Structures are given as structure tokens and as C-alpha cells.
Structure 1
Amino acid sequence: METPSELHPISTPQIDTLILDALTRYIAQSGAQPGSRLPPERVLAEKLGVSRNTVREALKRWEALGIILRKKGSGTFLQVDVGINDSFLSLRFKNDSANMLHALEVRRVIESECCVLAAQRATAEDLARIEQCLDEVERVHLSVGTAGAEDWAFHSSIYRAAGNPLLLQMLNGIYDSLHAFFESPPEQALFADSLPLHRELFNAIYQRDSKAARAICNQILDITERDMKDVINAKR
């Protein structure tokens, strides 16, 4: 029987993220400016081929970030500039920059130590799972240019190999912020420079080199931080 502390990899991107990426492209191509009113949910749902409730739930994520403003009886209004190269992830970085940088700090603290513990504790089964996830990351990345869901599964396999159920509970608690780092669409290729380091990280864990595992993990997160800040600073 599964316990609440177990952390499972996500096999497909969240549907609302896909919808928001599609809406981002639509708004950018329409030339809408801050203050413009968006089409009604009914129209957006018809264009996307999804239910109105699905669109409504997706728009709540934008509203929470201040990207849109809903006025009862008046409609939904765009609050920020949306560029052709934007996605939900880049808009989130730009409009929630402080929280996302804080989330990255938390991820660094947890993940670097998880890599150390995995190097010390991983079983043969754990190592096989990590390598299988890594092979899938490389395969999908080569095919489509990004592998967000597969990358999340790879890092999740390391978290599990650390062998500490309390760490998994903590990660479940910050899942939404943590998983944002794995939502990059192919056209943006955020964090792609870190791909070769994932193989090096696995090798360090496999060789029980905890010092190297921590260092390589931090190199991966340095690239994540650099790309995040590039997106954030592009707003200014």
C-alpha cells in the first residue's frame, strides 16, 4: 500500500500549463497590450478545444500572479506585457521573481543534500531507476529539445534514493513551486546547458562520490539560476 510520503514522477505536463502557453502565444500574436480585454472564457475554450472550467482554472494561475485582472461584470483584462517568446514559465519568473528565486534557494538546499545521501545510500534498484530516468531525459531532449516531465522524474528518483521519507514530505509540500522549474517549453530551451551534467551527476552517485555529487548538483542549479535571472532581467 502506498504511503502519503511517496513522491511520484509526472509523466505529462499539467494541462493548465499547456493551456496558458497556448494563451500566451495567442495574446502575443494578437498584439494585445496591458489593459486589453481578453476574449470570454467560452471563446477561449472553443478555440483551445477544452472545457470552460479547464480554461477558468488555468486563468486562476495567471490571476494569482497579477498577469490578468478579473472584473466582475466587465471581463478579464491583461495587466502585463506578453511577448512572442514568452511562456507561462517565463511570465511566472518575471511576475513572481522573488518567490521563484526563494524556491530555487530551497531546492538547492534540499537537492544538494539529497544527492549526497543518494551517493551514500542508493541501492542497486535505486541506481537502475535513476539511470533509466536519465536515459529517458536524454532521449526525449534529443527528440524535442526539452524534457521537463522526464527531468522531473530523474530528480525525483534521486530524492527517493536519498532514503529519507521526511524529505519526500517536504518536497510534496513545495511541489508547485519546485515543479515550475520543469515546465519550460521546447522553444525556450531553458536550462538546456545543464543536460550533460545530469550524466555526470549520475556517475558521481553511482561511484559513491558524495562530494562530487554535491558539486555537480550545484553546477546544474547555477545554470538554472542564471537562466532564471536572464528571463527576469529581460523584463527590465
Structure 2
Amino acid sequence: MAGIRDTSIITALPAQDRVRQVTDAVAAYIEQAELKVGDRLPAERELMSALGVGRSTIREVIRRFEALGVIETRRGSGSYLLKPVAAGTVHMSLSLNTARQRDALLQTLEVRRGIEAEASVVAARRRTAADLANIEEKLDEMERVHLAKGTSGPEDLAFHLAIYDATHNPLFRQLLEQMREAFERFWDHPFDREDFARRSFPFHRELFDAIVDQDTAMAREKTLRILEVVEEDIREMSR
């Protein structure tokens, strides 16, 4: 019939692509609407309707803006702009288009080694009692899941984010959030092995102890040991 086109050949966007597109769209709106610091953003339902996406996607985008320190969400009031936003500055353009998973994992590991070792040192130097409580809470949950399932995923990330927060330097978390999409693409069940990086698990408690003791040298050493074990697993499992 004239005018009817076959749309079955169109591939649905992965959820991660939708998050990226919505992030770009919200940043473009902020820029084009010339919102100023302190201005309120449209409500969740308004963004859902305008962008044609679900609540979970909108909330993930808002969470990312919060992590970057450009939006603040106030309970019962809405989300407000904390810093100027331009569409071209929301993302760092990171690309890991290598065809070999092993190479991609080793590349991301090189970046993590530099950032996480320094973050652990700064956290050990600056951590407060509240920071320690937060890190230990995330570590306890990571250990609980690990003992129950033999592995951990989001819990491990939450532990490291808590360490980043303990640096009291927002750039550490912002850098991780900017690189998170590229990292997660390759770190989700590498080689289809549930036991990937399991051997690094005990060193997380030792890293926490070093931060408690404000032993910066030991904090760096334990962080590097965790990543060293992960690298060994990558090389072993990719043979």
C-alpha cells in the first residue's frame, strides 16, 4: 500500500545509546534555553513526554549530571542547574573500538591504574569518619554479594566510587563518570567468566584498612595489587 514503509529493518537503540542521546538532548536544551545557574529544569514527566523515553532513562541521565556536579536534585522540588552546561562539553569523546576484548580491557586498565592509585592516596590522606563509614558500608555489601555469588559487579564499582568521594576532589568521580560508559562496555562479564577478577577480592579489605590507617603508600600498593591481579586474569583468560 502506498505510503506504508517497512520499519522492521530498523534496529532498536540499546539502552545505553538512549541514555547518551537523552544526555545530549538535555544538555542542548539547557544551552538553547539559556538556563542560568539556579534555574529549575523541566520535571521528569515533562522530559519523558518531550523525549519519548521512560522514567528510568531520565533518572539515569539526571544521576549522571549530578555526578558531574552540574545539577542538584532537591526532594519535592525538582532539579536545578548548578553550573553552566554546553552540549559539546558534557562528554569526553572516548572510543574503544578494538575488535579484541583482551586489548580493550588492557587499555581501560592502564587508565584505571593511574586514576585509582592516585585516588586511593588522596582518600587515605583526607578521609573523614563519615567517609570511612561509607566506604566500609560499600565494602561489606561487596563482600556479602561475593560470598553469596562468588563474584560482584555494581558493588565493586560502588566501593571504588566511595573511595573517590573520600578524596573530596569532585574531579575524580567526574572523570570516572565520563569514562564509565567506555569501561562498562568491556568490563561486563569479560570472556563470559563469572569468576573474572575474583582473586582480587581479598585485597579490597586491605585497601580499606590502609585508608583507615592513613597509610598512603600502602593504599597505593594495594590498589596497584588489585589491578595487577586483574591484569593477570585478563592475560590468563584470553589465551
**TM-score normalized with structure 2 length:** 0.57
**CA displacement at 1:216 relative to structure 2:** 0.5
Q: Which has the higher contact order (CA 8 A, sep 6+)?
A: 1
Which residue of the partner structure matches residue 189 of structure 1? 195
Specify which of 202, 220, 234 is matched with residue 228 of structure 1. 234
Within-5 A mapping of 1:52-63 = 53=12, 57=14
SS at match of 1:128: helix
Which residue of the partner structure matches residue 126 of structure 1? 131
Asked whether the equivalents of residues 93 and 100 of structure 1 are also in contact (C-alpha less than 8 Å), the reply is: no
**CA displacement at 1:180 relative to structure 2:** 4.9
Structure 1's 59 and 169: CA in aligned 2 closer, same or farther, altered over 3 A?
closer
Asked whether 1:111 is paired with 2:116, we answer yes
Structure 1's 230 and 193: CA in aligned 2 closer, same or farther, altered over 3 A?
same
**Alpha-carbon distance in structure 2 between the residues aligned to 1:209 and 1:59:** 38
Size of the aligned set, in residue pairs, is 150
Name the larger-Rg structure: 2
**Alpha-carbon distance in structure 1 between the residues aligned to 2:169 and 2:149:** 34
Matched-pair identity in %: 42
Which residue of the partner structure matches residue 145 of structure 2? 140
Which residue of the partner structure matches residue 174 of structure 1? 179
Of residues 173-182 and 146-155 in structure 1, the stretch that sits farther from structure 2 once superposed is 173-182
**Alpha-carbon distance in structure 1 between the residues aligned to 2:195 and 2:188:** 10
**CA displacement at 1:204 relative to structure 2:** 0.3
Residue type matched to 1:179 in 2?
A: E
**TM-score normalized with structure 1 length:** 0.57
**Alpha-carbon distance in structure 2 between the residues aligned to 1:178 and 1:162:** 21
**Alpha-carbon distance in structure 1 between the residues aligned to 2:98 and 2:231:** 11
Structure 1's 112 and 130: CA in aligned 2 closer, same or farther, altered over 3 A?
same
Which residue of the partner structure matches residue 217 of structure 1? 223
Within-5 A mapping of 1:1-236 = 53=12, 57=14, 95-180=100-185, 183-184=188-189, 188-233=194-239
**Alpha-carbon distance in structure 2 between the residues aligned to 1:107 and 1:99:** 12
Runs of 4+ in 1 over 6 A off after TM superposition: none
Asked whether the equivalents of residues 104 and 186 of structure 2 are also in contact (C-alpha less than 8 Å), the reply is: no
**Alpha-carbon distance in structure 1 between the residues aligned to 2:194 and 2:177:** 27
Residue type matched to 2:195 in 1?
A: A
Asked whether the equivalents of residues 93 and 228 of structure 1 are also in contact (C-alpha less than 8 Å), the reply is: no
**Unaligned 5+ runs, structure 1:** 1-41, 43-51, 61-91
Structure 1's 153 and 180: CA in aligned 2 closer, same or farther, altered over 3 A?
farther
**Alpha-carbon distance in structure 2 between the residues aligned to 1:197 and 1:134:** 11
How large is the RMSD of aligned CA atoms in angstroms?
2.6
**Unaligned 5+ runs, structure 2:** 1-7, 18-96
SS at match of 2:14: helix
Residue type matched to 2:123 in 1?
A: A
Of residues 164-173 and 115-124 in structure 1, the stretch that sits farther from structure 2 once superposed is 164-173
**CA displacement at 1:160 relative to structure 2:** 1.0
